Structure 1
Amino acid sequence: MKRIYIISLIIVSLISSCKDNKMEQENDAIYKSIKKIYTLNADGSIIYQYQHRLKYITHLSFNRLYGESFIVYNSEQQELKINKAETKMVDGKIVPSPENAFNEILPHLASGVPAYNHLREMVVTHTALEPGCIVDFDYELKSNPDYLPFLSENLVLNERVPIENLEIIVNIPENIELNYKLINAEGEPIVSHNEGLIQYKWTFKNSGINIREPNQSHDQSFLPRLILSTANVENAFSNICSQDDLKLTSDIEFILRNRIFGIKNSVKMIQEFKKIVVNELKDFNIPMEYSGYKIRPLIEVWNSGGGTQIEKTFLLNEFIKYIGFESEIVIAIPPSFYDKNVGCIKDFGNFYVLAHIDGEDILLATNPDQPNNLLFELKDYGFLNLEGSSINLPDFIDNTESIVSVNGSLKLNKSGDLTGDAIIKVQGIKNPYLNYLANVKSAKEVAASVFSSNSIIDFNVVDFDQNKSEVETKIEEKEIWKNQGDYYFFELPASMYGLKGEHLPALLNERQTPLKLSYPVNESYDFSIAIPEGYNFISPSVNKELRNEIGSVKIEISSNENLIHAVKSLKINTDEISPAEYANLKSILDIWNKKNYNEIILKLQE
């Protein structure tokens, strides 16, 4: 029995060793452990303690990736204490970081931002690094009682390299409630009581790595997360500002009146205000956690000549209210993040202005070139006002599908010039409704999404409203084909409002994270193209169709004497394609992107 037990131990050890070796062969470094401890004290102060043990495997790991650690904090409201920074070398020698390894600087994000020049960044340079060494790092950050209004965090549970053991510990007074939400991860906390505190402890083993691929969602909602807070949504957002913070001075109001003097068009007025907010005030890229999840008074924002994205949004909202429109600040939250009991502001969603303009509800960002109502783009998000109440979207937003369709009657002459007429219909996200309201000549951009702007000799708006628009255009484009000997190549027009505008890279065979499109694509084309006498259409006729769970594609290209007929349609049912669905998407797009299905080839007759 003793021999069997020893053999079993050896086998288990060998298996564990093989796993470790495989992991080290595939990664630049490995976190042996990460521990994050949050303690909310009875007086409202918060202590955050961070610890890690990181094993360096490659030279890249310490030359480019993890040679330094960076800690940004508010020196007026927080106190930083480094508990440990030492390296265990391969030979077992322990090397503490010397005094000159700790250097405090102004963070790059606060450069040129006087209002935030009290921010500091501690740069810790880890020493005695070599392949196989392990760095022990431990620091504490204590926040003053009046700095953070509540304890909250939005924690991503993986890193660029694997984490063998990740612990998240939260200590709060027994009279405080902690609410939390796990996303794309599983695990319940161990709850214990000790000396008037409740402790919540999550442990995650062998966390997967944070994989970076093209066309991931900006909100990164696909990552494993733990969102936690001692405040609910209503209380969290109510702390952002007071009514006194939103006051405008008479000087500011005078400037606003002058900027819109003589302008009767409501959208043009708002565009003028956007120009002030975006072009005349600098962008301060300061995350809200460094300002205690509060905005500065708008008078201070104005006088400082710049603001954060959120401060600018509040400023735009007050500008719009000043000229008599109803408007309010709303937060758009990814559906997987939202829980009314978990009031977390950090990386939780984006702030917008919801304005009631000429009888229509329009969602506005501070972007001065916003062409349409952002409600179409964000209709799958949850919307809350500053009181934490849900905002219901107009029915037509939910019921409107985003579509692009082009019908054209075109003609090629012997010089390769393309002329003809086309009707372009746009519905939903890409419909530039606000640009129409400001100037109907903006309709040219719809035609320019398909044909080059210089080729558009005339256009006419047949119909437009907030949902859709229809534009007729005449084009004349010089020498559109490419010539190689007796062969002439002409690419079929395609709209930048469709898949072409997504700028997808070449699709690999597999994908490990969801692929994000700006919207569920639905585009169609129907072209009749007359070719000049003395030329033959030599491309093979095409009749290709595929349908699967992710969408459909259909391409038909045929010819009759000197007339080519090309019909194409593409539909992708969702804007986010999971790795399991990716093969179906690739099958569809391999057909759609095939060069032979997008190109007309003519040959000059001998």
Structure 2
Amino acid sequence: MMNKINKSTLLICLLLMATSAFAASEAEYKKLAKTYTLNADGSQEYRCNMELTLFTHTAMNGTYGESFIVYNPEYQELKIHSSYTKQKDGNIIKTPDNAFVEVLPHSAADAPAYNHLKEMVVVHTGLELGATIYLDYSILTKPGYLPALDIYDEPLQSSPVKEYTYTIVLPESVQLSYTLQNYKAKPATQVSNGTKTMKWTLQNLPAASRNPFVSAMNGDIPFFTATTFVSEKEALNALYKQFNPQNDPQLEGIAESICENKNKDTEKLEAILDYVINNLDNSQLSLAETGFRLRPVDDVINTAYGTAAEKINILSGLLNAAGIQAEPAALYRVNAEKGCGLNAISELFVIAQADGKEYLLTPTSKRMATAGSLGNIVPSFKLANGERLTFDAPDTDINYKVDITLTPEKAENQITSQTGNAQRPYFSEDKASGSSSQSLKVKNGYVLVNLPDAPVSLANSSFCRMNSTRKENLRMPCKANEQYTYTVHIPEGMELRTPAVNKTISNAAGQVIYSIEKDGNTAKITRSLQLSKQLYTPAEYKDLRTLLTEWGSTDNKILLLSIL
């Protein structure tokens, strides 16, 4: 009896140790302080000061072994105030000179015009379990390079933070708009000698979630925005004034060449979008990395690559040159009451009108821009005048009708489909028909037949294979509405062994239906999914996951038949 008790006690201890090990963080920020200073002459300083204690070998050898600082040496100067490691016994290891390595930022690798950018890699030395990394540096920016003091930041890091501070220093006369959302903290404000200092202190922040599809767009992740732009209109206009004006002779010439022998506006629009997608390579540089600047159109065309903003400029310009109404617009990352400038932009896109239809275009794909599929969860604005945009909900329907003819050797599928514009590229038909076949392999007198579905079906996505619990909001790609009807013709010598079923799961998140009906040598299978909305809270997640798990089950997409 005592032996059993000892074994039970040992098992409990091991389980507790395992639980503690999995719950423990790799590291912890004792301090993370970011200070933004705007001087009266327009120059700026960004200062970052961090203290990070390491708890695991992964943190020491991988996650936090290096720090990366990107800057533009033509307009900015990097100053390292201090960099060292304090080991567990108190020993100080200063970062040696050869541990500061300057490289080209990865995003600028295929963009020669931006090869002057630098990335300082700070290799932290003297690391061990329990050691604390100290790094304090500033990026000094010359007047005129940045259009305003403009901040967007998400404070949750990959490890917990004991104290996270934002400090903004600027002339007393300069107005600052800001939003700190999903965390309650008010700024401490001081005014001295014409300078205003505002400081926000956030304490005991948890580590950022590692769950998939977590985003500030979903409305529940803390974020901080601050800007000296008076409004979104002023911020977006700072970008728009760099766009090419209409009646640009170079773009008119290119548009005329691209649209030769194209009569309808839709044909011209597709040809111009093809040109921008396929003839201009995509640079991964962000707006912030380029200083919110665009190269001239002729430079972009001659070098055959461009940033997203540069390609949007050309796409909008070519469309207007071809006589198609087109306006550049911006989608924001978050829905903030105020304080969104240029750093808060998630995506630039073009709104175009052709033959009575509206198109939301990106320069990298023929699919609808993200703004169209978000259901106005976050705001979009025109660059030219700051007008807020609203979009009708896109058609998310998928309707498949499949006629399956079986032989012991193969299954022949005749497919008729109708797909909404949210699920397919522009210029493709909403209705389509086609055929496919599947070779069948007999094993122990049985064969398995797969029921085809749409490649974009949620059943083929990772949304159907997620954890049982979730603490964050979940935004689905769309408000799904999928319908599949299969008619299976079973020849003599084969018999359907999958049992008849009529299953309906209905809850607050939506509904899933799965049914099999047998009628002689014919079987009819129905599968459908309907979601009630696009954005779900943690309280609603259980119902949603119940539907998605059922919808993604391969058991509902396979038929078992016997060979007699």
Distance 1:41 1:537, change over 3 A: same
Offset from partner CA, 1:117-150 (integer Å, 9 cap, x none): 2211122222211111112211111111111111
- Deviation for aligned residue 1:301: 2.4
Shift of 1:505: 6.1
Give the SS at the match of 2:241.
coil
Match of 1:360 in 2: 357
Of 542, 548, 558, which residue of structure 2 is paired with 1:589? 548
Instruction: Tell me the residue number matched to 1:382.
Output: 379
Question: Given the alignment of the two structures, is residue 600 of structure 1 paired with residue 559 of structure 2, yes or no?
Answer: yes
Is 1:425 the equivalent of 2:418?
yes
Cα shift at 1:246: 4.5
1:263 is aligned to 2:262: yes
* Contact kept? 2:349, 2:361, Cα under 8 Å: yes
The match for 1:35 is: 33
Deviates more, 1:264-273 or 1:231-240: 264-273
SS in structure 2 at match of 1:510? coil
Provide the residue aligned with 1:15 in structure 2.
none
Residue 332 of structure 2 corresponds to which residue in structure 1?
333
Paired position in structure 2 for 1:324: 323
Aligned pair in 2 of structure 1 residues 60, 408: CA closer, same or farther (>3 Å)? closer
* CA deviation map 1:469-520 (0-9, x unaligned): 444x3636353x4421211221222222321343446333223444443212
- Note the C-alpha offset of 1:60: 1.7
Q: Is the 1:71–1:121 Cα contact (8 Å) retained in structure 2? A: yes
The within-5 A match list for 1:246-285 is 246=245, 250=249, 252-285=251-284
**Counterpart mapping for 1:181-580 below 5 A:** 181-217=179-215, 222-231=220-229, 232-242=231-241, 245-246=244-245, 250=249, 252-334=251-333, 336-339=334-337, 341-370=338-367, 376-380=372-376, 381-393=378-390, 397-398=392-393, 401-420=395-414, 422-430=415-423, 432=425, 434-436=426-428, 443=429, 469-471=430-432, 473=433, 475=435, 477=437, 479=439, 481-504=440-463, 506-580=465-539
Q: State the alpha-carbon separation in 1 of the partners of residues 403 and 243 from structure 2.
A: 61
TM-score normalized by the length of structure 1:
0.83
Measure how far apart 1:321 and its partner are.
Answer: 0.6
| 3-state secondary structure, aligned to 2:448 | strand
Of 124-133 and 214-223, the range deviating more from structure 2: 214-223
Change (3 A) 1:218 1:265: farther
Distance in 1 between residues matched to 2:121 and 2:462, nearest whole Å: 38
Q: Which residue of 2 aligns with 1:76?
A: 74
> What is the RMSD computed on CA atoms of the aligned residues?
2.7
**What residue identity is the alignment partner of 2:269?**
I
Partners of 1:105 and 1:478 lie apart in 2 by: 51
Tell which deviates more after alignment, 193-202 or 78-87.
Answer: 193-202
Superposed displacement of residue 218, structure 1: 9.2
- 1:500 partner amino acid: A
Query: What SS does the aligned partner of 1:553 have?
Result: strand
CA distance in 1, matches of 2:189, 2:47: 19
CA change 1:412–1:246 in 2 (3 A) is same
Please give the secondary structure, in 2, of the residue aligned with 1:274: helix
Q: 1:54 to 1:515 in 2, by over 3 A?
A: same
Q: CA, structure 1 residues 23+237, in 2 after alignment: closer, same or farther (shift >3 Å)?
A: farther
Cα distance between partner residues in 1 of 2:102 and 2:159:
27
Partner of 2:13: none
Task: Give the whole-Å Cα distance in 1 for the aligned partners of 2:51 and 2:361.
Answer: 45
Residue 247 of structure 1 contacts residue 298 of structure 1 at CA under 8 Å; is this kept in 2?
no
Query: How far 1:252 moved relative to its partner?
Result: 5.0
Tell me: CA distance 1:338–1:298, structure 2 relative to 1, closer, same or farther (3 Å): farther
Q: Percent identity?
A: 27
2:216·2:222 contact (CA, 8 Å) conserved in 1?
Answer: no
Q: Which whole-Å deviations, capped at 9, do the CAs of 1:513-571 have from their partners, x for residues lacking one?
A: 44443212111122232211232222222121111111111111121222212122111
**Structure 1 residues 374 and 56, CA gap change in structure 2 (3 angstroms):** closer
* Equivalent residue, structure 2, for 1:456: none
Give the number of aligned pairs.
544
Q: Contact 1:384 / 1:390 at 8 angstroms: preserved in 2?
A: yes
Provide closer, same or farther for how the CA distance between residues 275 and 197 of structure 1 changes in structure 2, counting only shifts above 3 A.
same
The 1:513–1:192 alpha-carbon spacing in structure 2 relative to 1, beyond 3 Å, is same
Show CA shifts across 1:201-222 (max 9, x none): 1111111112223344596765
Of 209-218 and 522-531, more deviation after overlay is shown by 209-218
Kept in 2, the 8 Å contact 1:154–1:348? The answer is no
1:147-167 Cα offsets, whole Å, 9 max, x none, are: 111111111111101111111
Secondary structure, counterpart of 2:226 in structure 1:
strand
Report which stretch shifted further, 295-304 or 523-532: 295-304
Aligned-partner SS, 1:145: coil
Residues 108, 390 of structure 1: alpha-carbon distance in 2 compared, 3 angstrom cutoff = same
Cα contact 1:362–1:374 (8 A) shared by 2: no
Unaligned regions of 5+ residues in structure 2, if any?
1-18
Shift of 1:73: 0.6
Q: Write the distance in 1 (CA, Å) between the matches of 2:362 and 2:458.
A: 24
Superposition TM-score, scaled by structure 2 size: 0.89
**Residue 246 to residue 282, structure 1, CA distance change in 2 (3 Å):** farther
- Secondary structure of 2:236's match? helix
8 Å CA contact 1:542–1:597 kept in 2: the answer is no
Q: Give the distance between the partners of 2:540 and 2:135, measured in 1 at CA.
A: 41
Kindly indicate whether the alpha-carbon contact (under 8 Å) linking 1:246 and 1:297 is maintained by their aligned counterparts in 2: no
One-letter amino acid matched to 1:412? L
Q: CA deviation at 1:258?
A: 2.3
